[in-house]
Amino acid sequence: MYSSIQRDTTFIQHLRDFIEEHYPIQPAKMIPAARGFYGETWRIDAPQGRIFAKLDCSPHQTIYGRSFPVMEHLRAHGIDFISQIVKTRDSKLYTNFEGGILGLFEWIDGKNVETDETKPLEYAMLARIYAVPAQGLELLREEFSSAAADEFYTLRAQLQDAEFLALLKSRREPLAHRIERLRHFSKRCAGDETGFVLTHGDAGGNLLLGPNAHLIDWDEAILSLPERDAWVMACRS
């Protein structure tokens, strides 16, 4: 699922002019790039090389904005398999454009790949991330919340579709058991930050394989246990 927003030539020209004004970039060509699940993305061909541009005007932009200091921090600590931010002319990590957050990055050649065979590579890359000290970063922290259980019951109460309600009713006991276990472990783990490291949150779905391997999209980075990354990748199939 990629952005389906249609932009006319006037908007795109406005964006090109904005980029040229605020970045040390002279866009010669802008081509839509089918990458990412939030925001609008382009590949920019410029004399300086290919650039990836991502504009997020959705409510998700707050999360997107928090990812820039994380990427900058990791690059400063020798992590070279993540996106390299192209800073503005006044050295800012991103800009605001038309009510959204605009970020520019050096283009990464590659294809999003997720298979069982990629897991050793992904874990090896994440292991290097976990070794990076998080001091100096303002990061959200894992709360071990059971809010998802409350949200489930709230949403179920709003359902009108009889077939879907019947399906949930047929699964009532296993669902109730899992929700009870979630709340149990939430209470046991709450407040314990032992072993917290910088985690990605969706590494399994954000591995680009090309001439080199890269982990992209650090929007969901928080301080948590390494298991936060492991379970997402383990449930792929």
How far is C-alpha 119 from the chain's CA centre?
A: 18
Using alpha carbons, select from 96, 110, 88, 92 the residue that is nearest to residue 217. 110
The reported pTM is 0.87
List the domain boundaries for the chain: 9-111, 147-189
| 100 and 55 Cβ atoms separated by less than 8 Å | yes
- Beta-carbon-side half-sphere exposure of residue 226 (alpha carbons within 13 Å): 12
Q: Give me the CATH code for the 9-111 domain, please.
A: 3.30.200.20
| Cβ atoms < 10 Å from Cβ of 66 | 18
Query: Would you state the pLDDT for residue 38?
Result: 77
Query: Would you state the pLDDT for residue 2?
Result: 47
Query: Would you state the pLDDT for residue 7?
Result: 80
- Per-position pLDDT tens, the chain of length 237: 345 677 888 999 999 999 999 999 999 999 988 776 778 999 999 998 999 999 999 999 999 999 999 999 999 999 999 999 999 999 999 999 999 999 999 999 999 888 888 889 999 999 999 999 999 899 999 999 999 999 999 999 999 999 999 999 999 999 999 999 999 999 999 999 999 999 999 888 899 999 999 999 999 999 999 999 987 776 555
Query: Would you state the pLDDT for residue 136?
Result: 87
Query: Would you state the pLDDT for residue 174?
Result: 95
